[in-house]
A and B are shown apart, each in its own frame.
Chain A
C-alpha cells in the first residue's frame, strides 16, 4: 500500500503551530490560575512538564517505527485490550478538535462577527480541514511549509509592535505570591501539551522517526518561549490584573496599542495567525483521528470517515460547552488537569508497562 511520508521539519511545523495557536488564543498561564505578573515563569516551567508528556508519547512511537499507537498497542496487549485502549486517544483527538474550533469561533463571535451563527464559523473551519486531509498527509505537510513563514512573521509582528508601549516595570515584583501560584499556572499550558499525542499517529509517517523526538522537543521549547514572551508582554502592556481579566489577552493587547499616531488597529495580525494556525491544528487532529479510526476498524482508507467525523466534531463542540463561561472553566487547572492526565497517562502507563516487560533484556533475564 502506498505510504505517505512527511519529514521532521514538517512535524516540527505542525507541533509548533498547534502549540502557538492555542497560546495566542487565550494565553494560558496568565488567564488560568493566579500567577499574574509571574505568568511568564509558569510558561517556561510548562516546558519541562510538557517535555515529560512528549517523552512518554514520543518514545513509544519511536520504538515501533512505522506503527501507530493503534497497531503497536495491539501488538503489546493483544487484540481486544489493544483495540480498546487507543479509544482514549481517539476520543482525545475529537475533544481537542472540538475545543479548538469552539475557542476560535467564540473569539470571532465576540470580537468580529456577532451576527454570524457559530455553527457556520465552526463548520467552515472544519470543512477546510476535511478538504486538506482528504488530499492527504503530504499536501498537509506542504501546507505547513507554506503557512509557517507567514505565521511566524505574524507572531513576530505581534510581539514587536507592542514593545514601544510596554512598561516592563509591570513585571515587578517577581514571585509576590510565592511559588505556588506559579506552579498552578504551569498546569494549564502542560495540559495543552495533550496536542503532542498527535505524535502517536504522525511519527509512523515520518521519514526519520528516530529524530522525531528531537523535533517535538524543539517545538515545545520554542512554543514555551512564545508563551512566556506573550505573557510578559501582555502584562507589560495591559498590567497584570487587566491581562488576567481579559478573555483573550493577546487580542486585547494588540487592540489596545497605538504603534504611532498613524498606525493602530493591527489586530488582524493576530486573528490571521490564529486562523492559519487553527487550520493546521484542526487538520492534524482530524488526520490523526480519522487515521486511527480507520486502522482500528481495519479500513484501507481514512477518507470516507472525514466528513462524518467533521460533523461529529462540530456537534460535539456545541454540545460539550454550553457557553464561553464553561469553556473558560474547563481550562482552569483544577478542571482540565485530571481529565486530560487521565486520558493521556492511563493508556500510556499500561502501554509502557507492557513495553518494558516485553523488552528483549527482560525476556532474557526471565
Chain B
C-alpha cells in the first residue's frame, strides 16, 4: 500500500509530537513525596459513644535510619513511623477524618497488618471488613489480628529488632507459624473473608497480647518486645466469643493437620522428674464424619512425625522398646491437646474446626438437613481421636553425654 497523500507524514509527525504530552503524567499521578504510607492499621470502637476509632501507623521517611551513629543533629531525631487516630460514625468517615490530621495523603496499598481491638471484635467486625473488601487500596494479603490490650500502645511501641511495628508483627507471625504451633492458619484477609462466608465454619484469628514496656528508652538493650503473638481469638459469626490459649490452639492445628513444628515435652519413661523434648516436623489429619439422624460422630486420624531434640534421661538406651513407649506418650500429649481445644470450642459453641464444613463438602445431602440445626448439634458432636505419632530421628548423637 502506497501513501499517496502528502499530508499523511505531516499528520503522523503531529500525532507523534502530541503523544509526548501524555508523558508528563496523567490525572492519577501521585508523587511519593505527597503520600504517607500506612503500614499498619488498628480498628477500635469507643464504648461510650459507639463511634469507630481508626488508628494508623504511617511510615515516616524523615525518620531515623537504622544503624546510623548517634550525635548527628542536636534537635532529637524523629522516629521511623508516626501514629495518628481519628473517629467517625462509619469506618470510611473515620479514615477520611484522618486526612485532616495528616500533612500527606494517606494510602493503604502498603498496609501489612490489620488489628481489631477486643471491644470491637466483641461487637462485630463486619462493618470494618466491608471497607477492606471494597476499597481498591488495601490488599487482601494484609494479616489480621485480634489485639488484647491497648491497641494504640502497640502501634506506638518500639520493637527492638525492627524499624516499624508493622514489619515486626508480620515477621513475628511468619516466624512463629514456622517454628511453633500456637497460631491459627488464618494468615490473610483473603482467608478471613472466605472463612466468614463458608458454611459450617467459624472464624478464628491470631491473637496479640500487648506487653508493657517500661520507659521509652530506645537505647536499652534489655527492653521488652511489646507484642506476644500466640493463641487464637474465636468468633461466632463476626463476633468475638472467646480465646484459645497456646495449647488449645495447638489442638486446633492438630485437627486441621496444619502443624508445621510443635514442641512437646514428655516425661522420661521410668522417671517422674526427668523430661525430654521432641519436636514434630510433619503432621497430617483426616476427619471422617459418621452421621446417624441428628447424631454426628467424627473419626479423626492424626499422624505426626517427630525427632528427639533434647534427651537427658539417665540410663536409658535408645532402643525400639523405649522409642515405642515415647511414641505412645507423644500420642497421649497430642490427644490431650486436641481434647482441650474441642472442649473449649464446645463451650464457646463455635465450630472453628469446620466440622460442619466437612459435612457440607463430603456429605452435601446430610448437610442440607443439618445446616439449620448445626449450632445446636455441634456442641454434642463426638470426635474419636486416633493418633499415630512416630519418632523418626534423633539429631547428631545417640545417647546423652555420659558423666562418670
* Residues of A participating in the B interface, judged by any CB pair closer than 8 Å: 110-117, 120, 136, 165, 169-170, 172-173, 176, 237-242, 252, 255-258, 261, 264-265
Contacts and interface: CB of A to CB of B under 8 A. Distances in A.
A106 B174 CA distance: 36
Given A114-B136, A115-B28, A116-B26, A257 B193 contact: no
Nearest to B109: A265
A114 B193 contact: no
B362 A173 contact: yes
A238 B27 contact: no
B1 interface: yes
Nearest to B141: A258
A105 to B, nearest CB: 13
A111 B136 contact: yes
B364 A255 contact: no
B194 interface: yes
Contacts of A120: 27
B139 interface: yes
Contacts of B190: 165, 237-238, 242, 256-257
Contacts of A258: 141, 188
A165 to B, nearest CB: 8
A169 B361 contact: yes
Interface string B188-216: 11100111011000000000000000000
19 contacts: A114-B28, A115-B28, A116-B26, A120-B27, A136-B1, A169-B361, A170-B194, A173-B361, A173-B364, A173-B367, A238-B194, A239-B193, A239-B195, A241-B194, A256-B190, A258-B141, A264-B139, A264-B141, A265-B139
Given A116-B28, A241-B198, 11 more contacts: A113-B26, A113-B28, A115-B28, A116-B26, A120-B27, A169-B361, A173-B367, A176-B364, A239-B195, A256-B189, A264-B141
B28 A172 contact: no
Contact of B197 (A110, A239, A252, A261): A239
A2 to B, nearest CB: 8
B141 A257 contact: yes
A173 B360 contact: yes
B360 A242 contact: no
Contacts of B242: none
Given A239-B194, A242-B194, A255-B140, A115 B27 contact: yes
A43 to B, nearest CB: 21
Contacts of B136: 110-112, 114
A172 B195 CA distance: 15
Contact of B139 (A110, A114, A237, A255): A255
A-B pairs, 10 with minimum CB distance:
A239-B194, A241-B197, A173-B364, A172-B361, A256-B140, A115-B27, A256-B190, A116-B27, A113-B28, A258-B141
A113 B27 contact: yes
Nearest to A247: B134
A116 B22 CA distance: 13
Interface string B233-270: 00000000000000000000000000000000000000
B146 to A, nearest CB: 21
A116 B174 CA distance: 39
B193 A112 contact: no
Contacts of B139: 255-256, 264-265
B366 to A, nearest CB: 11
Interface string B47-76: 000000000000000000000000000000
A288 B198 CA distance: 46
Given A113-B27, A113-B28, A115-B28, A256 B141 contact: yes
Contacts of A173: 360-362, 364, 367
Contacts of B193: 238-239, 242
A307 to B, nearest CB: 13
A221 to B, nearest CB: 30
A60 B190 CA distance: 48
Contacts of B28: 112-116
Interface in B128-152: 136, 139-141
A257 B139 CA distance: 9
Contacts of A257: 141, 190
B27 A117 contact: yes
Contacts of B188: 256, 258
